[in-house]
Amino acid sequence: MASGRFTKVGIERVMEMAFRRTYNGGSLPTNFYLALCTEADEPNSQTEKLSDLDEISAGNGYTSGGIAVAPNSTDFDVLAKDPSYPEVYIQIADKTFTASGGEIPAGGPAIRYAVLTDDNASVADREVLAFWDLESDRVIPDGEYLKLKDLELRWGTLA
């Protein structure tokens, strides 16, 4: 899987968590979420909220807002320095979306992007921290699954 990209709000929140021990002026998130979106609205560094994107239709095994990713060393299972480049990277442990009772998405356009969000109670208001382009539109047939392996985020340092 290709490296993901942080949004500006994602970089701001990571810095805030590390250096201020707060998140958007409040307490740290209990979980993050990995949501699936269509190609209708391509995420970019300026994307702020999940409502700025077109999340896939819920149903058949996909829940609005996506699946939880805990802030721990189990769900963020790799944290390392790249010896070849001035970068540090982190990977999300493999996450699987399984279609049951029909295909995912349950209707509408196919899956194109995975996005990492915070845990705002209002799914539409969840901040988009990072995103990955799955490089082609995808539909998960009933009884099949989509496994997102080694979703990686890199942060370069200045030399």
* Residue with token string 């540090």: 88
Q: Which residues contact 67 (CB under 8 A, 6 or more apart)?
A: 33, 34, 95, 97
Percent of the chain with pLDDT over 90: 87
pLDDT at 85: 79
Instruction: Identify residue 142 by its one-letter amino acid code.
Output: D
Domain ranges, ordered by start, for the chain = 3-154
Which residues, in sequence order, are CB contacts of 114 under 8 Å at separation 6+? 4, 34, 35, 36, 37, 131, 132, 134, 148, 151
Cβ proximity of 60 and 101 under 8 Å: yes
Ranges assigned E (strand) in the chain: 3-6, 32-37, 67-69, 78-82, 87-92, 95-98, 111-117, 128-138, 145-148, 151-156
Going by pLDDT thresholds of 50, 70 and 90, the confidence category of residue 156 is confident
* pLDDT tens digits along 131-143: 999 999 999 999 9
pLDDT one-digit tens code per residue, 87-112: 899 999 999 999 999 999 999 999 99
CA distance 9 to 17: 12
- For the chain, give the percent of residues with pLDDT over 70: 97
At 17 the three-state DSSP class reads helix
Q: What are phi and psi of 134, to 5 degrees?
A: -80, 0
Look at residue 2 and tell me whether its pLDDT is greater than 90: no
pTM of the predicted model as reported, rounded to 2 decimal places: 0.94
Dihedral angle of Cα 30, 34, 35, 39, to the nearest 10 degrees:
140
For residue 11, is pLDDT > 60? yes
pLDDT at 125: 98
In this predicted structure, the answer to whether residue 158 has a pLDDT above a threshold of 60 is no
Query: Which tens digits make up the pLDDT trace of 12-46?
Result: 999 999 999 999 888 899 999 999 999 999 999 99
Q: 151: pLDDT confidence band, cut at 50, 70 and 90? A: very high
